[in-house]
Amino acid sequence: MVNDYELHLRLRHQKLTQDDGGHNVWEVIEEPCIIPASATAILICDMWDNHWSRGARERVDAMAPRMNNVISAARARGVTIIHAPSNCMNFYAGTPARQRMIDAPRAAPPESSDHPDPPLPFETPERGSDTGETADDYFMIDTRQHPAIEVMDEDGVSQDGEEVYSYFRQQGIENMLIMGVHTNMCILHRTYGIKQMVMWGINVILVRDLTDALYNPAKPPYVSHEEGTELVIGYIEKFWCPSISASELMATL
């Protein structure tokens, strides 16, 4: 493992500006960034082995092998891998990856910083399935992380933001690349998700093509599922953190 390897990334964010005619526009900005692998973690959010929404499950099934390729390459370069399949900690009880997180000395996170938090581009009152399931069909049927994503002994497994933050402090990790599902829900709102980690001062980066929103095109704003996911990614780039693509990440590994 090469501990001083550097990741050369292009961070994409969006800035509200004006065009030549004085109209308000969102400008996409890409900036080069170099971060050390040893100070960087990838966190995989809620890539479960099963899901109550068939559409969500199909997209996770398609994404998981690609995700595993990325994290395998990153791990080999010294990036820390954290698996966060919420509600599945019993499956990993007693494993080195789970115990590592439990054993990390607790470090109290700082007081959460003030941060603008505009509403998301759409709401999901029926939980957003695009394959016919409704809120009445919602139930947890996951048992573990998707089996296509390997959990190695040197990784970490956690579902607790303060536990993850403590491990970051112990290991000197300042940068967190986050991938997984769902972009408009857990990716943003878990205790280890974008909002909380940003407010605790962690440099967070979304891997925008290894994520998926939970959105039903039959509901406002009446766009395709892919466009719905892009709307949430754009919201994150505007208000919370920059993004990168998996292909860009693989190119630097």
Indicate the domain borders of the chain.
Answer: 6-17+26-252
The predicted structure's pLDDT at residue 1:
43
Amino acid present at 115: H
Beta-bridge partner residues of 33 = 9
Query: Which tens digit of pLDDT belongs to each residue from 103-134?
Result: 999 999 999 999 999 999 999 877 899 999 88
Homologous superfamily of 6-17+26-252: Isochorismatase-like (3.40.50.850)
Residue 231, H or E segment:
helix 225-239
Asked whether the beta carbons of 238 and 201 are under 8 A apart, the reply is no
pTM of the model: 0.96
Beta-bridge partner residues of 181 = 212
Percent pLDDT > 90 in the chain is 92
Residues in the chain: 253
Q: What average pLDDT does the structure give for the chain?
A: 96
Instruction: Please state, in angstroms and rounded to a whole number, the distance separating the CA atoms of residues 101 and 167.
Output: 6
